[in-house]
Amino acid sequence: MTISVGDRVPNLTLTKATASGPDQVSSDEYFKGRKVAVVAVPGAFTPTCSARHLPGFVDKAGEIKAKGVDEIAFTSVNDAFVMGAWGKASDAGDITMLADGNADFAKALGLTFDGSKFGMGERSQRYSMIVNDGVIEQLNVEAPGEFNVSSAEYLLGKL
């Protein structure tokens, strides 16, 4: 079942890519007491994700934060080293990179798809959401193959 607006984000462990290496974080602690824009993509360094999705949030990070968002986090079914390298290569210093290496977060949210025909296995769907103190306030899930409602511009317009 897909998570909905008003639901609490399930408690599990994510891996935060940091300059000193991977850092395990509990989702309960990560989202506690703050407003976070979470953006999920099928894969780091993939065409739409790298050419349009992440750059949009890099460009609009200041505007999004000015609307009351404490942090912007990108997540993907990749390991923390890949997420860290993607953030660095994309000059995404204002964005937290959260690895969901085993798709545990995507599965718990009910937001996975089978990318096997592309050699990618189980992946996260493309979406954005606003999580306020652990509760989902906004959820924007893309239709397969689309890139509209999870963009920085769309999210900014909804804040």
CA distance 28 to 12: 8
pTM (two decimals) = 0.91
What one-letter code names the amino acid at 83? M
In the prediction, which pLDDT does 14 show? Answer: 92
Let me know if 49 is a catalytic residue.
Answer: yes
Q: What is the DSSP letter of 8?
A: B
pLDDT tens digits, 33-64: 999 999 999 888 876 766 677 889 999 999 99
Do 141 and 13 form a contact (C-beta atoms < 8 A)? no
Residue from 9, 37, 39, 49 carrying the catalytic annotation: 49
CA distance 2 to 142: 13
CATH number of 13-158: 3.40.30.10
CA distance 45 to 120: 13
pLDDT tens digits, 71-89: 999 999 988 999 998 899 8
Q: Which strand (E) or helix (H) includes residue 41? A: strand 35-41
Domain ranges of the chain: 13-158
